[in-house]
Homo-oligomer: A and B are copies of this chain.
């Protein structure tokens, strides 16, 4: 029904997760409504990002160079290594400016439902990095969920023989949250991990 140009765009926008037929059609028409400069910039940005973005050879974070700017920085605290499950998490933590150590990005989390084993998420690379460096503490900052817990336990087991502190980000009630909207697992964790007011 649509001309080829719109049909192609519609099919292409459906590559985005969660974008269905209707939204894809709407976005296709929005491309036609854009200035030529804008649509060209978008098309070029897609090709540029895909061609130039690679993974840092040390920490597996997104980078346009072989070694990312964090691994290359001389002002980072070499005592700390923070382990995350996704490059987005590095940006989220960096944005807050509350951590100044290094990072290691896993290629996902251990998951029996998605059939992801320790070798699939490249835990070997993490372990050999820890063995070669003198980190004092490894902070596991993967998502607090079943897969995150499994991954954290697995890493903790491997590192237990080494002289290194392994910690996990605290899980509990977020700042300002209403108790009635807290899910039972979070509430249970908040009770289990309650701290004495000193």
Contact = CB atoms under 8 A, between A and B. Distances in A.
Copies of this chain in the oligomer: 2
Nearest to A10: B45
Find the residue from A6, A36, A44 having the highest chain B CB count within 10 A: A6
Q: How large is the interface on A (under 10, 10 to 19, 20 to 34, 35 or more residues)?
A: 35 or more
Contacts of A52: 3-5
Interface stretch (A23-31, A163-171, A181-189): A23-31
A196 interface: no
Contacts of A3: 52-53, 62-64
Given A45-B12, A47-B40, A94 B32 contact: no
A1 interface: yes
B95 A42 contact: no
Contacts of A42: 12-13, 15, 43, 46
A28 B47 CA distance: 12
